[in-house]
Amino acid sequence: MVKRVDGQQSTLWRGLKVIGIGIRQEPLMFSAAVLGSALYGAGTAGGGWLLGRITDSVLAPAFAAGRIDRGDLTTAGLVLAGVALVTAVGVVGRRVAAGLTSYRLQARYRRLLTRQYLRLPLEWHHRHPAGMLLSNANSDVEATWMVFAPLPMAIGVVVMLVVASAAMLVADPVLGAVGLLVLPWVVVLNAVYQRYMSPAVTRAQAERGEVSSVAHESLEAAAVVKSLGREESETQRFSASADQLRRANVRAGRLRAAFDPLMEAIPTLGTLAVLAVGAWRVQTGHAATGDVVQVAYLLSLVAFPLRSMGWVLGEIPRTVVGWERTSAVLSETASMPYGSTEPAPGGAVPVELEKVAYAYADDEGAPHEVLHDIDLQVKPGRTLALVGPTGAGKSTLATLLVRLVDPARGTVRLDGTDVRELRPGGVAELAALVPQGTFVFNDTVRDNISLGDPRFSDEDVWHALEVARADGFVRHLAHGLDTVIGERGADLSGGQRQRLALARALVRRPRLLVLDDATSAIDPRIEAEILAGLGTLADRPAGSEPGVTVVVIAYRRATIALADEVAYLENGRIADQGTHAELLERSAGYRRLVTAYDHDDEPDAPARDLDEEAEELVVDELLNEAAAPPGDGPGPETGSGEDLTEMTRR
């Protein structure tokens, strides 16, 4: 066992352990690479031995006699060609098998990392920048397993050295000993190289991850950067990070540039020493010319392959760093526990939150509670609007309802069952979330809605688009459902992207729909039609509750007016709950929030644009309809799909 003497030996030992892991995972392909490399090494050393024998038995007598036997020369040439062919087969086999070993391991670990990213809870992703995770799955995985490209050749060099050393010592012990003097120098040079190269490569890998993080942020915020004219400052920020990576890579490159010539010079100097000593021994009659040729040739052949040992030792620091960064993700144990309860069939689900609290971890890891003792009930088929100032905890509450995160304490129940007791995938069968940030893939409309799920036919997709009131503009796209809508839906308006995101949730026929300000870019009348059409989604057994339970985070009065009930959040608590009219009357905070635009008659109030005035007209119409007495229109407790649809048509 290699003991821990210093950092260098520890790095080498850890690198060998990683190599062992790779060999165990790709034993057949690695064995094929080693076999090809061994064939190459044996063929190369055997060719050197054969050249010495041909020199003594064919070439030297021919020079002495002044003529050459064509038959002997032909035989020698054929034998050398056969050895060269065997060596070439070994080279091809080694390169193909070594490449496959490296790339298979990279593919395996990229898949493992992707599965781990998807398995880890959202809280874990909040603490890890996306750019760093991309670097883990790309450059770190590549750095870990690229060592398998030169490794089989290095193993072949070991075979070559064993065969060549035996052949040199048999040919002439003195010349063989002179030639073998290069090996201790190679070992010493590699030890010094590793000591300086390991920290340099570690630094370069860390800087590569930082560059990925900065680049990812810049690309994600491209619209913000351009709209605010911050291209130059963002370029400077990226340039600073890129310069640090450049300096780290240059330092590593300088070390390698100093190492490679020395690795090549040592065998070359050894060859010169063998020729000098060999010439003296031939002159004194202690060695044959063929022996000198054989030893010098073998040593010159070893010069290039010896570099592969340097490549392996040069890759080991990168292997160790890449493995540590990759395995740190793979060893994460953060998870969400699941039960085995099946979601009960039925229609709209009731929602119940009991003493629910949630805390985010700050930069130092200390919990910062943002929701406190939330008690909330939503009856099946009803629409609840969550209203509150910025930072009140509305979006956090939405993620709790669909179990993207678990509460620090308390219970969230859907259809009477604690969400933690449902089997994996159970919550997704009951509930769907349309988040605040609309994400559209660079793919077809069809795949943006179905996400590649074969359960959903084109008929299902069109129905979801109809409910989301997106079928009209989709039919006018160049290729309908087959239209590729560009990176992040750049070819669509904000309202169109929101409706596609809504259709993506609706195609799954959720029994609970959570909208996190997901209709802010949609016309209020279209929004009313969408909510009215939700009742056509679920396949409900006879006698089940009608429609879909909807929880909507709302800011616009037009949206709030469509809800059956309103929960007003303030400082992470439900300050009040009731109908819109009730909260306007008794909650000063709610009244101040939703009537903020009503004060524009004051002298210093900013002028409203036409969109705001149009929205106010819709709000007034909806509120007037809701306040009408029975018999004159829908009452305050109706909110049915038919009533809303009829209302928005007028």
Q: What is the DSSP string of 313-349?
A: HHHHHHHHHHHHHHHHHHT---------BPPPP-SSP
The answer to whether position 410 is within a domain reads yes
Give the chain's count of helices (H) and strands (E): 25, 10
**Same domain, residue pair 179 and 235:** yes
Q: How confident is the model at residue 23 (pLDDT cuts 50, 70, 90)?
A: very high
How far is the C-alpha of 275 from the C-alpha of 261, rounded, in Å?
Answer: 21
Output the CA torsion sign for 247, 253, 259, 265. negative
How far is the C-alpha of 561 from the C-alpha of 528, rounded, in Å?
Answer: 10
The secondary structure of residue 442, as a DSSP letter, is S
Which range scores top for mean pLDDT: 489-503, 514-528, 635-649? 489-503
How far is the C-alpha of 299 from the C-alpha of 293, rounded, in Å?
Answer: 10
The answer to whether position 414 is within a domain reads yes
Query: What are the structure tokens assigned to 619, written together?
Result: 């709000």
Task: Look up tokens 């029994």; give the residue.
Answer: 511
Contacts of 533 (CB under 8 A, 6+ apart): 466, 467, 469, 641, 645
Burial class (CB in 10 A: 0-12, 13-18, 19+), 215: middle
How far is the C-alpha of 143 from the C-alpha of 222, rounded, in Å?
Answer: 30
**Same domain, residue pair 96 and 142:** yes
Sheet with 351-361, strands from edge to edge, namely 367-378, 351-361, 409-414, 417-418
Nearest to residue 128, comparing CAs of 264, 328, 305? Answer: 328
Does an H or E element contain 383, and which? strand 383-387
Amino acid (1-letter code) at residue 568:
Y
Query: What are the structure tokens assigned to 118, written together?
Result: 């998807």
Nearest to residue 538, comparing CAs of 404, 396, 415? Answer: 415
**Same domain, residue pair 325 and 355:** no
b/e map of 422-444 (b: 16 or more CB within 10 Å)? beeebbeebbbbbbeebebbeeb
For the segment 441-445, the average pLDDT, to the nearest whole number, is 85
**Residue 364: predicted pLDDT:** 65
Contacts of 600 (CB under 8 A, 6+ apart): 606, 607, 608
Which range scores top for mean pLDDT: 47-56, 62-71, 143-152, 280-289? 143-152
The answer to whether position 155 is within a domain reads yes
Query: What are the structure tokens assigned to 361, written together?
Result: 């971890």
The answer to whether position 311 is within a domain reads yes
**Same domain, residue pair 386 and 520:** yes
**Same domain, residue pair 424 and 374:** yes
| 90 bridge partner residues | none
**Residue 643: predicted pLDDT:** 39
**Same domain, residue pair 312 and 405:** no
Q: How confident is the model at residue 569 (pLDDT cuts 50, 70, 90)?
A: very high
The secondary structure of residue 405, as a DSSP letter, is S
**Same domain, residue pair 390 and 507:** yes
Number of domains composing the chain: 2
Taking the chain, what is the end-to-end CA distance rounded to the nearest angstrom?
A: 85
How far is the C-alpha of 107 from the C-alpha of 148, rounded, in Å?
Answer: 14
**Same domain, residue pair 311 and 413:** no
Query: What are the structure tokens assigned to 531, written together?
Result: 């909510």
Check: CB of residue 528 under 8 Å from CB of residue 622. yes
Above 70 in pLDDT, residue 536?
no
b/e map of 132-169 (b: 16 or more CB within 10 Å)? bbbbbbbbbbbbbbbbbbbbbbbbbbebbbebbbebbb
**Same domain, residue pair 385 and 267:** no
Nearest to residue 642, comparing CAs of 554, 472, 555, 528? Answer: 528
Above 90 in pLDDT, residue 283?
no
Q: How confident is the model at residue 635 (pLDDT cuts 50, 70, 90)?
A: very low
Q: 188-246: per-residue pLDDT in tens?
A: 776 677 677 767 777 776 777 778 777 767 776 676 777 667 778 778 888 888 888 88
How far is the C-alpha of 238 from the C-alpha of 337, rounded, in Å?
Answer: 40
How far is the C-alpha of 501 from the C-alpha of 498, rounded, in Å?
Answer: 5
Query: What are the structure tokens assigned to 163, written together?
Result: 């065969």
Above 80 in pLDDT, residue 380?
yes
Check: CB of residue 290 under 8 Å from CB of residue 60. yes
Q: 237-262: per-residue pLDDT in tens?
A: 888 888 888 888 888 888 877 777 77
**Same domain, residue pair 363 and 227:** no
Query: What are the structure tokens assigned to 223, written together?
Result: 């619209």
Task: Look up tokens 């290039």; give the residue.
Answer: 304
The answer to whether position 335 is within a domain reads no
Above 50 in pLDDT, residue 629?
no
The answer to whether position 138 is within a domain reads yes
User: Which of 107-111, 245-249, 302-306, 490-494 shows the lowest mean pLDDT across its residues?
Assistant: 302-306
Q: Quick one: the chain helix, strand, coil %, rounded to 5?
A: 65, 10, 25
Q: What is the CATH number of the domain that holds 585?
A: 3.40.50.300
Taking only Cα atoms into account, the Rg of the chain, rounded to an integer number of angstroms, comes to 37
**Residue 135: predicted pLDDT:** 79
Q: What is the CATH number of the domain that holds 120?
A: 1.20.1560.10
**Same domain, residue pair 127 and 220:** yes
**Same domain, residue pair 326 and 359:** no
The answer to whether position 129 is within a domain reads yes
Above 50 in pLDDT, residue 265?
yes
Mean of the per-residue pLDDT values of the chain? 77
The answer to whether position 250 is within a domain reads yes
| Domain that residue 230 falls in | 8-330
How far is the C-alpha of 8 from the C-alpha of 253, rounded, in Å?
Answer: 19
Does an H or E element contain 418, and which? strand 417-418
Nearest to residue 506, comparing CAs of 546, 560, 547? Answer: 547
